[in-house]
Amino acid sequence: NERSFIMIKPDGVHRGLVGKIIQRFEERGYKLVALKQMTASKAHLEEHYIDLKDKPFFPSLINYMVSGPVVAMVWQGLDIVKQGRAMLGATNPLASAPGSIRGDYSIQTGRNICHGSDSVDSANREIAHWFKADEINDYNSPFINSWVYE
In terms of Cα–Cα distance, which of 75, 46, 71 is closest to 61?
A: 46
The one of ligand GTP, Mg ion, none whose footprint includes residue 147, by CB under 5 to 8 A per kind, is none
Determine, following the binding rule CB under 6 A, whether residue 95 of this chain makes contact with ligand GTP. Answer: no
3-class DSSP state of 38: strand
Q: Which of residues 82-121 bind Mg ion (CB under 5 A)?
A: 118
3-class DSSP state of 70: strand
Determine, following the binding rule CB under 6 A, whether residue 57 of this chain makes contact with ligand GTP. Answer: yes
Shortest reach from residue 74's CB to Mg ion, in Å: 16
CA angle 32, 37, 41 (to 5 degrees): 125
User: Which positions ≥6 away from 71 have C-beta within 8 Å?
Assistant: 7, 8, 12, 13, 18, 35, 36, 37
Q: Does the annotation place 57 within a ligand binding site?
A: yes
Q: Total binding residues for ligand GTP by CB under 6 A?
A: 11
Backbone torsions φ then ψ of 23, nearest 5 degrees: -60, -40
Determine, following the binding rule CB under 6 A, whether residue 61 of this chain makes contact with ligand GTP. Answer: yes
Q: Does the annotation place 3 within a ligand binding site?
A: no
Determine, following the binding rule CB under 6 A, whether residue 84 of this chain makes contact with ligand GTP. Answer: no
Amino acid at 138: D
Q: Contacting ligand GTP (CB under 6 A), which of 116, 126, 127, 131?
A: 116
CA distance 103 to 113: 10
**Residue 48 bears catalytic tag:** no
Evaluate whether 81 touches 120 at the Cβ level (below 8 Å): yes
Q: Which of residues 33-52 bind ligand GTP (CB under 6 A)?
A: 52
Determine, following the binding rule CB under 6 A, whether residue 68 of this chain makes contact with ligand GTP. Answer: no
Binding site for ligand GTP (CB under 6 A): 52, 57, 60-61, 91, 109-110, 112, 115-116, 118
Q: Which residues are annotated as a binding site for ATP?
A: 9, 57, 85, 91, 102, 112
